[in-house]
Structure 1
Amino acid sequence: MEPKARAEDEDVKITVELLKSITGEFDLESILFLKLTKMNICNLGCIGDCVNLERLDLSRNDISNLNPLASLKLLTVLNLSANRISNLDPLYSCENLQNLNLAGNLISSVDALCSITKLKNLDTIRLKDTVCSFSNPVCMNKSYLNTILDMFPNIKILDGERVSGRGSDLYRLCKDIDDSLKEIDSIRPIHVSVSPTKWVEDSYWELKPTQQTQTDKASEQFFELLKECRELKSKAADVITKTKRMPRAVK
C-alpha cells in the first residue's frame, strides 16, 4: 500500500497509518529501523509506540518537540539534523543512545546539552556538519570544543572527528598548543583541521549487519597529522622560551 500523496508544504504528523504504509509492518513494536527524512514532519505523534526502535532518522523535517521519543529505551542511533530543536530534555530517557546527530538545529548554549550528559553509552555527537553546512548557535562559542569534551568525557567522535583512543593524542596536543600560545598575545592560535566525513552512509539504515573499518591510508594520514602537531608544539615552545628571554621594553 503506497502512502497517500500530500502537498509539499503540508505539515505532517506521524500516525499509525503512516508508519504502517512506510514500513509494511502491521505491529509498530516490530519496527527496528525507521527513516523518515524530508517529509515536513512537525509532530512526532505515535512514534513513541515503536518501543523497539534501534535506529531512527528524522533529519530534514520541522520538528521542535521531542517528548514522544522519551519512551524509546532501546534507541542507539538517532539523526535529528536539520530540524528546529532547542530542548533535548526528553532524550534523557533514551538510556541506550550511542550516536546522536543534532547538526542544523537551534541549540543556543551548552546548558541545553546538560540533559544528555548522563547518557553513559553516548560516544558520538554531531552538532555541526561541514559537509552539509549544518551547525548550531552553540558552535560559534570560542570555547566550544573544550567545553563539549569536558561535558562528555567518554565521547569518542565529535562533529565527525575522533577525539578518543588514538585521536585523544591529537586533541591533547592541540589543547597544549592553544594553552601555550595564549601566553603570548602576539602569536595567533594554531588550529588543526580534519577533513569532514558524512555522518553515516545511506545503507546504514538497511536491515543488514553493518561494520566500520579503518583503511591503512586513513591510519597513515592520521599519524602524519599527529607528527605535524608535535612539530608545531615544539616550535611554539621555542618561540615562548625566546620571547620570555627578551628584555621588556622600558616605558
Structure 2
Amino acid sequence: MDSKRDRDHDADCERVTAALLKSRTGEFDLESILFLKLRGLGIHDLGCIGECSSLERLDLSGNKILSLAPLSSLRLLVALNVSANRISSLEPLSGCDSLQSLNVAGNIISSLENLHCLQSLRKLENIRLKDNTYNYTNPVCRNGLYRNILLEMFPHIKILDGERVVGRGSDLYQLCKDIDDTIKAGLYKNGQLSEHPDCKPWVEDNYWDIKRSNNAIIDEAYKQFNDVLHECRLLNNRATHMISQTERSMSLKKQPKQYAV
C-alpha cells in the first residue's frame, strides 16, 4: 500500500497538476499564482501550468523538461529559469511578450538559429545560456562567435551569461564615469571651484551612485542574497573550527610519548 502511495506521489511530481500547484503556493485558484518555484522535482511534463495566467516569475530549474509548450500562454511572465533541463527548442516562449529575464543554461540548445524565436521579445534584457558556477552550458556556446552574434541578434540586451554588457558595470559605463570624474577633478584647485564656464559634467550629481530600487521583487532578492551570505559565513566559521580541532588533534598525536621513570 505504501509503495503504491509512493508511486502516485512520484507520478504527481513528474507532471505538473493543479493539486501540486495549489499545495506549493497555497493558492486556491491557479489564476492567482504570481510566483512559482518547482525546482528539482523530477518534472518532465508541465501539464496545466499554462493555466497560471497571472504568473510573473517561474523557476523550473533542475528537472527533466523536454518541451516548454505549456508556457506559450503566459503573457505576463517576467522571469523564467529553466536551467539544467533537457530543452532543445525555445519556440514556445516567442509569445511571452513580458519576458525580461531568461535562464536556459544547462540544456541542449544546439545553434544560434534556435534563438531567433526570441528576437520579437522587446523587453528581454537578461539571457543566460551558460553558468560557470554550476558548469552549465549549451552546445551553441561552443561557437567561437557565439557571444558577438548573440549581441547583434539582441541589441537591447543588458546582461549576457551573468555579465553586464551595457549600463552600470559595463566598460562604457566605467569609461563615462572616469571621464566625468576627471572633468570634476579639473574644476577644483586646492579645494576651490575654479572658473571653467564651458566645462561642465554632462550628468547630475550622484548620477553614478548605484541606488537600491523600491521594487518589492528586487528587495526580496537582496534579502535572499543576504541570507545566503549569512549562511556562508556560518559554514565558514564551522569549517574553520573543525579544521582547528583536527590540527590540534593531529598535533597531539605527533608529540612523543613520555614515560614515567
Q: If the length of structure 1 is used for normalisation, what is the TM-score?
A: 0.65
Residue identity over aligned pairs, in percent, reads: 55
> Is 1:169 matched with 2:172?
yes
Q: Which residue of 2 aligns with 1:122?
A: 124
Return the alpha-carbon distance in structure 2 between the equivalents of residues 79 and 63 of structure 1. 12
Q: 1:60 aligns with which of 50, 59, 62?
A: 62
Q: Deviations over 1:136-177 (max 9, x none)?
A: 0000100011011000000000000000124153899xxxxx
Residue 64 of structure 1 deviates from its aligned partner by: 1.0
Q: 2:26 aligns with which of 24, 27, 38?
A: 24
Q: 1:112 aligns with which of 114, 127, 131?
A: 114
Return the alpha-carbon distance in structure 1 between the equivalents of residues 142 and 46 of structure 2. 29
Q: Which residue of 1 aligns with 2:105?
A: 103
Return the alpha-carbon distance in structure 2 between the equivalents of residues 31 and 131 of structure 1. 30
**C-alpha RMSD of matched pairs (Å):** 2.3
Distance change in 2, residues 1:6/1:160 (3 Å): farther
The one-letter amino acid of 1:53's match is: L
Normalized per residue, the structure richer in helix is: 2
Q: Which residue of 1 aligns with 2:83?
A: 81
Return the alpha-carbon distance in structure 2 between the equivalents of residues 87 and 98 of structure 1. 18
Any unmatched runs of 5+ in structure 1?
173-207, 214-251
Distance change in 2, residues 1:98/1:135 (3 Å): same
Q: After TM superposition, where is structure 1 displaced by more than 4 Å over at least 4 residues in a row? A: 4-11
Q: Deviations over 1:36-56 (max 9, x none)?
A: 010010000000000000000
Q: How many residues end up aligned between the 2 structures? A: 175
Q: Which residue of 2 aligns with 1:12?
A: 14
Q: Which residue of 2 aligns with 1:216?
A: none
Return the alpha-carbon distance in structure 2 between the equivalents of residues 171 and 159 of structure 1. 20
> Is 1:210 matched with 2:213?
no
Written as runs of structure 1 = structure 2, the 5 A alignment for 1:43-58 is: 43-58=45-60
Q: Which residue of 2 aligns with 1:138?
A: 140
Residue 133 of structure 1 deviates from its aligned partner by: 0.5
Contact 2:109 2:138 in 1 (8 A): yes
The one-letter amino acid of 1:162's match is: R
Contact 1:29 1:52 in 2 (8 A): yes
Residue 117 of structure 1 deviates from its aligned partner by: 1.0
Distance change in 2, residues 1:71/1:171 (3 Å): farther
Return the alpha-carbon distance in structure 2 between the equivalents of residues 171 and 120 of structure 1. 26
Contact 1:60 1:83 in 2 (8 A): yes
The one-letter amino acid of 1:210's match is: I
Return the alpha-carbon distance in structure 2 between the equivalents of residues 5 and 34 of structure 1. 24
Residue 209 of structure 1 deviates from its aligned partner by: 3.8
Distance change in 2, residues 1:70/1:59 (3 Å): same
Contact 2:167 2:173 in 1 (8 A): no
Return the alpha-carbon distance in structure 1 between the equivalents of residues 44 and 7 of structure 2. 14
Q: Deviations over 1:200-228 (max 9, x none)?
A: xxxxxxxx542478xxxxxxxxxxxxxxx
The one-letter amino acid of 2:42's match is: N
Distance change in 2, residues 1:8/1:134 (3 Å): farther
The one-letter amino acid of 1:77's match is: A
Q: Secondary structure at the match of 2:44?
A: strand
